[in-house]
Structure 1
Amino acid sequence: MQYFCSNGHSTSPSFAQEPGLTIPKVWDCPRCGLPAGPDPDNPPQAPRVEPYKTHLAYVKERRSDADGEALLQEALDALRERGIIS
């Protein structure tokens, strides 16, 4: 069976002929790593990759600016009570 990726590469992996063995519908292209399928005119699309998010980005998704200010004020008050800052 021949597989085709969206970059125009093709590959022909060999599979053993065993009872019950199913041939995969999608195969990773050995040249570029994109998914490849059996239809040369309609290869599978590349998966969408989400950009890396920092811890701060995740926190900002969950908390509003007002929540952040309240937490900061609470932490500063606790430090003032302990005499660490004035």
Structure 2
Amino acid sequence: MSGGNAIRGTRVGAGPMGEAERGEAAPRIRVSYWCAKGHETRPSFAADAQLPDTWDCPRCGWPASRNRDEPPAPPKTEPYKTHLAYVRERRTPEEGEAILAEALAKLRAGQLGRF
């Protein structure tokens, strides 16, 4: 039987166990971050790593900072805008009327719709 399974008897993701095979673990520190709702998050970082100023709170998703007394402000959620709302921001009603009149004139003259 020459076509046997090469990984027989092992499981997916199996690897060497223990620190002897993996090497020494880097020294770690835990840092507290607080969000505006008062949730505390304590992620772990390498001792020599540069710490981020903000961290996303895993409970509410708001930004959190290391300053418990002055957490960052919650993000502002903007309502969904339609395509028409964006067009209205770019054009005044007078500009819209002028563009519509120009397109209607071309359509009536037979210039639009031909390929």
Give the TM-score taking structure 2 as reference length. 0.63
Q: Identity over aligned residues, as a percent?
A: 55
Which whole-Å CA distance do the structure 1 matches of 2:42 and 2:91 have between them? 51
Q: CA deviation at 1:2?
A: 0.7
- Displacement after TM superposition at 1:53 (Å): 2.2
Residue 41 of structure 2 aligns with an amino acid whose one-letter code is T
Aligned residues: CA RMSD: 1.9
Matched residue pairs, number? 82
Of the structure 1 ranges 51-60 and 28-37, higher mean CA displacement relative to structure 2 is found in 51-60
1:20-56 per-residue CA deviation (whole Å, 9 max, x = no partner) reads x211121110111101111222211112233332221
Structure 2 counterpart of 1:35, from 56, 63, 70: 63
Question: Is residue 5 of structure 1 aligned with residue 35 of structure 2?
Answer: yes
Report the secondary structure of 2:64's partner residue: strand
Gaps of 5+ in 2: 1-30
- 1:48 matches 2:76: yes
Structure 1 residues not aligned, in runs of 5+: none
Deviation, 1:80, is 1.2
The higher-RCO structure (CA 8 Å, 6+ apart) is 1
Moved segments of 4+, more than 3 Å: none
